[in-house]
Amino acid sequence: MSELSFRSAGESDIPVLVRLRDEAARWQISQGIAQWKPGELGEEHFRARLADSEIWIATVGPDGPVAGAWELWWDDPAAWGPQPPTAGYVHRLMTDRLVAPAGTGRRMLAHAERRVRAAGRSLCRLDCRANNPRLRAYYASAGFEVVGEHPWKDGGVGRRFAATLLQKRVLDDGQRLAETARGTGDERFVGGDARSACGWERRLRATL
């Protein structure tokens, strides 16, 4: 298996991110997958995400070509509503199908999970269109569990769609509190608030 390296994206990566997204959209269309469309997201989108979130790049080796990328957000009210800071949210998991070795998508997800865990947050979350069973099955095979549906998510591209919400636990509560106490997480959620977060998870399952 080819070695992958990971690094934070910068301003100079923005054209590559646009290309990856458009190529992924064209591939989806060729496969009959209703998810993305070419040209929906330009440089302004990725520039904004660099400012308010994180974008990660996967390369083949430390100096090799770009194999893929993804966004990691620390909140996602459009899909999940207001939430306590107990999760990281993966968006736009993209690979270059001409460059990426087999298993790149899964390895990028694993890196995202490690990043969420290092931040002291216990859940890695993502969503996909409810009418995309192939992508839903892919995430399920990576250990993500369906916990709800959002019937009218605003995708930020001028239209709304039904979204399936999935999550994976990457820290148990004891580990999360230990990470937080060491200053790697959000210190507002030391102690009893962890129980509140768990209670919210149960309500999510019951109501979404």
Query: In sequence order, what DSSP letters do the residues of 54-95 get, joined into one string?
Result: EEEEEEESTTS-EEEEEEEES--HHHH-S--S-EEEEEEEEE
- Cα gap 164→180, rounded to integer Å: 29
Coil, strand or helix: which one is 163?
strand
Nearest of 147, 199, 141 to residue 173 by alpha carbon: 199
The pTM for the full model equals 0.81
**CA 9 → CA 53, 58, 103, 194, 199, distances in Å?**
11, 9, 21, 32, 35
Nearest of 17, 89, 27 to residue 57 by alpha carbon: 17
Starting from the edge strand earliest in sequence, which strands make up the sheet with 160-169, in order?
4-8, 54-60, 66-73, 87-95, 123-129, 160-169, 145-154
Q: Which of 28-42, 106-120, 131-145, 185-199 has the lowest mean pLDDT?
A: 185-199
pLDDT at residue 190 is higher than 60? no
pLDDT at residue 179 is higher than 80? no
Q: Are 139 and 126 in contact (CB under 8 A)?
A: yes
* Per-residue confidence (pLDDT) for residue 200, from 0 to 100: 37
% of the chain surpassing 70 pLDDT: 79
pLDDT at residue 159 is higher than 70? no
